[in-house]
Amino acid sequence: LQLTSFYPKHTVSAWSSGTGAAGLLGALSFAALTEPLKVKPRTAILILLFIPVLQVFSYIMAGASQAAAKHREYQQISDATTADPDTDTDTEEKITVNKTTILAKFMNKLQLVKPLLKYMTPLSLVYFAEYSINQGL
């Protein structure tokens, strides 16, 4: 996910769709190998071990590391030393935080969440179901 800023904007959508499909296809392929084909679970897992190798190969071929390196810019660190914060002689101001202000800010943030619940609830249910499937529950 950290490399998505180097790719087109549809990358995150494709990634999230891919994770859902991977969970379903992984569970279905394991079930297909063990039930109708009567393959032992250990053998089924060994058969499916080519997938991580394929992922590494895809990562290398997609050039993810080259994409990140292309956008990297290095700057020389200055030789000047900075003051040690522990030995700083400036007087520090004490910050007083009003508890009611913190509560009010929290309540304002909760109000911002309310309109998003219609989007958050289905996503939460889908991810909960996906992880339940992946755990074999």
Q: What is the pLDDT along the chain (137 residues), one digit of tens a residue?
A: 677 777 788 878 887 788 778 878 888 999 999 999 999 999 999 999 998 899 888 878 876 666 666 666 666 776 655 555 555 444 445 555 677 788 888 899 889 999 999 988 998 898 888 778 777 75
Angle at CA 119, nearest 5°, toward 122 and 121? 40
Q: How many residues are recorded in the chain?
A: 137
Tokens of 111: 């109000």
The pLDDT score that the predictor gives to residue 91 is 47
Q: How far apart are the first and last CA of the chain?
A: 28
The pLDDT score that the predictor gives to residue 63 is 67
The pLDDT score that the predictor gives to residue 103 is 82
